A and B are shown apart, each in its own frame.
Chain A
Amino acid sequence: MIRVQDLSKSYKRGGETLTVLDGLNLEMEAGRFYALMGPSGSGKTTLLNLVGGLDRPDAGELFVAGEDLGKISGAILAQWRADNVGFVFQGFNLIPVLTALENVALPLTLTPLSRSERRAHALHALELVGMQDRAHHRPKQLSGGQEQRVAIARAVVTDPQIILADEPTGDLDRDSAGQVLDLLVQLHRDLDKTILMVTHDPHAAERAQSIVHLDKGQLGRIEDTPRALAAGD
């Protein structure tokens, strides 16, 4: 599903070149739930952005869902994102002027679905995350946990193969964080999604099946979580 080979990425900050990923090699299986951990600056979010097609690598190969992302750009890459990836961000990133239902239906405007079909799909996604009764609320009328659940509904509404979550519980209290993690586990289990979740929280990471440790832009190790070992995954 995800194959990374000699992947490098650096940024220029104040005239200085900062190497974030330095010849990273990594393989991830389809349908598996990965937690991505590592100290700040280890390249977790950069890797997530590259895997999601939000950014382009400087060197190396990056195959995701059968596509070499280093070789596509512009409108083709945008379409690839729409077809294959759902994003969940730390700051929720809902469009503030749209209702929960409209936010969830937004990615569907890129599909050939009719308006009523889009609405039905969006309502179903909201139902999946237990937010159907908040469909007509604007983001500012929702709690942080509720906003993140709506964001998760938006991430799955187009039925993508991969869900990329960047610190999805970072801005939430413990209860809300637990609910969001439960939801991600449920989506992985019921919908067979490949999930890649960046987190600093070891408890959150343990909800995944595997933990990928990054250090200074390189792969540290990959370990299966106790949950996966217990389940025989």
Chain B
Amino acid sequence: MLRLVVRNLTKHKLRSLLTVGSLVVALFLLCILRTLVTTLEAGTQAAKSNRLWVQSAVSLFVDLPLAYEAKIDAVEGVEKTCKVQWFGAYYQNEDSFFGQFAVDGDTFLDMYPEVVIVAGSRAGFLANRIGCLVGKALAKKYKWEIGDRIPLIAALFQKDDGSAWDFELEGIYEVTEPVWDDRTFFFHWDYFEKTMEATTTGQPDVGTFVVQTRQGADQVPVMAAIDQLFEHGPQRVQSTTEADFQAQFVSMMGNIPFFVAAIGGGVLLAIFLACVNTMIMAAREQTRDIGIMKALGFTDRSMFGLLTLQSMTLCVTGGLLGIGLALLAEPWIAHGMGSFFPGFAITAGTRDLGIALTLGIGVLAGIVPAWQASRLRCVEALRSME
């Protein structure tokens, strides 16, 4: 029977290839699109419940006064505070761009146990005023090694003489959770602050504060207290949990899950209809064969099975190839996505959903022609060819 299924499918090679090809594309797209959503959600899910982010109430792009740090530190329930400033420089040329942040190095590493130094050392990083930490993927991309000097050309925080900022690589990190990606560059706030103080710009402001609350502290009153503290300015703040802060980035891109679901659903529906069409055409062409087989003693049920198996074979071949292709392409896509989608990885859930949809399309696309084949009266089927 399987041989007959395969022969029937390869009878019209082009049609079968086009159907399989469309399924490959559909399942590939589905896996990739859904992975964009799961990757965004993973960042939110990995966020620690004891970390808060404090940003300007106006916009994430408005900085906060440095003096806020001491006041936040004094709020009941706050254990420590880390300054974070987006640096926005580039390496060698403007195309060599990646995320860079000035942070309180020691506090940052305390707050983020998910950031694990795998080459160099924490002590080396903390001891070197111009020391920096870079993600493993970033170090690999630029072939940086511990001790390398890395000049960055500032776009936002320029020195008066326009010279590059010099850094020394003291540590390469990996992440155990996708709270940060492994393509980011961290350096000392002190170096940033002192260098800026020496320029005509003067003392820099702070992009955001990351606040770690004491163990067991209720975050709601802590956030309320921080927000209330600066209610009358000079710059009002908005405190959020780390999960909400991450989700904010997702929402900044629009309703991505809905958008992706709409595209994926549309693609699947179109492919499903194409598969139904293919199977109905195939079944119509096989009317004579079905009549012959029934005359030979094959039952209505076996004809139903034959057509369903044919549909399943076609769809499963295309679907599995699409899923396999997505898994194969995952490292390249993850590389291409860079910092936009840190931790891009096709989850087992996405893979299983793809398999389930493939099987579903296979069964549903085959069910109508299979039912028609099973209902076909032998004499009519034989007469139709005459």
Contacts and interface: CB of A to CB of B under 8 A. Distances in A.
Interface of A: 49, 52, 54-55, 74-75, 78-79, 81-83, 87, 89, 91, 93-98, 102, 106-107, 109-110, 154
A97 B298 contact: no
10 contacts: A78-B297, A81-B295, A82-B298, A83-B297, A87-B295, A97-B10, A98-B4, A106-B293, A106-B296, A110-B297
A134 B296 CA distance: 22
Nearest to A11: B379
B48 interface: no
A106 B10 CA distance: 19
Contact of B379 (A54, A94, A96, A97): A54
Contacts of A98: 3-4, 7
Closest 8 CB pairs of A and B: A82-B297, A97-B7, A78-B299, A75-B299, A81-B297, A107-B296, A55-B379, A54-B378
B292 A95 contact: yes
Contact of B300 (A74, A81, A110): A74
Contact of B297 (A49, A55, A107): A107
Contacts of B11: 96-97
A81 B296 CA distance: 7
Contacts of B298: 78, 82, 110
B385 interface: yes
B160 interface: no
Contacts of A74: 299-300
A174 B49 CA distance: 91
B3 A102 contact: yes
Contact of B382 (A78, A79, A93, A97): A93
A61 to B, nearest CB: 20
A97 B8 contact: yes
Contacts of B1: 109
Contacts of B294: 54, 78
Contact of B296 (A75, A82, A96): A82
Contacts of B299: 74-75, 78-79
B288 interface: yes
Interface in B338-381: 377-379
A54 B8 contact: no
Which of A74, A81, A82, A95 has the most chain B CB atoms closer than 10 A to its own CB?
Answer: A95
A205 B11 CA distance: 39
Contacts of A83: 297
A93 B291 CA distance: 9
B301 interface: yes
A78 B298 CA distance: 6
B289 A95 contact: yes
A200 to B, nearest CB: 15
Contacts of B378: 54-55
B95 interface: no
A91 B382 CA distance: 10
Select the residue from A81, A87, A94, A97 with max chain B CB neighbours within 10 A. Answer: A97
Given A74-B300, A75-B301, A89-B382, A97 B4 contact: yes
A93 B292 contact: yes
B234 to A, nearest CB: 81
A87 B294 CA distance: 11
Contacts of B300: 74-75, 78
B94 interface: no
A93 B382 CA distance: 9
B297 A79 contact: yes
B295 A54 contact: yes
Nearest to A166: B382
B297 A93 contact: no
Interface in B125-156: none
A106 to B, nearest CB: 6
B386 interface: yes
Contact of A91 (B4, B301, B377, B386): B386
Most chain B CB neighbours (cut-off 10 Å) among A78, A83, A87, A107: A78
Given A78-B300, A93-B295, 13 more contacts: A49-B379, A54-B294, A74-B299, A75-B301, A78-B294, A83-B297, A93-B291, A93-B382, A96-B289, A97-B7, A97-B10, A98-B3, A110-B298
Contacts of A93: 288, 291-292, 295, 382, 385
Contacts of A89: 382
B289 A52 contact: no
A109 B4 CA distance: 12
Given A95-B289, A97-B4, A97-B7, A54 B382 contact: yes
A154 B298 CA distance: 14
A74 B301 CA distance: 9
Interface in B242-297: 288-289, 291-297
B274 to A, nearest CB: 23
A54 B297 CA distance: 10
In this complex, which of B11, B298, B300, B377 has the most chain A Cβ atoms within 10 angstroms of its Cβ?
Answer: B298
A115 B93 CA distance: 69
Nearest to A107: B296
Nearest to B292: A93
Contacts of A55: 377-379
Interface in B290-328: 291-301
A97 B295 CA distance: 18
Contacts of B293: 95, 106
Contacts of A102: 3
A107 B289 CA distance: 13
Contacts of B288: 93
Contacts of A94: 292
Best-buried of B292, B296, B379 by chain A (most CB within 10 Å): B296
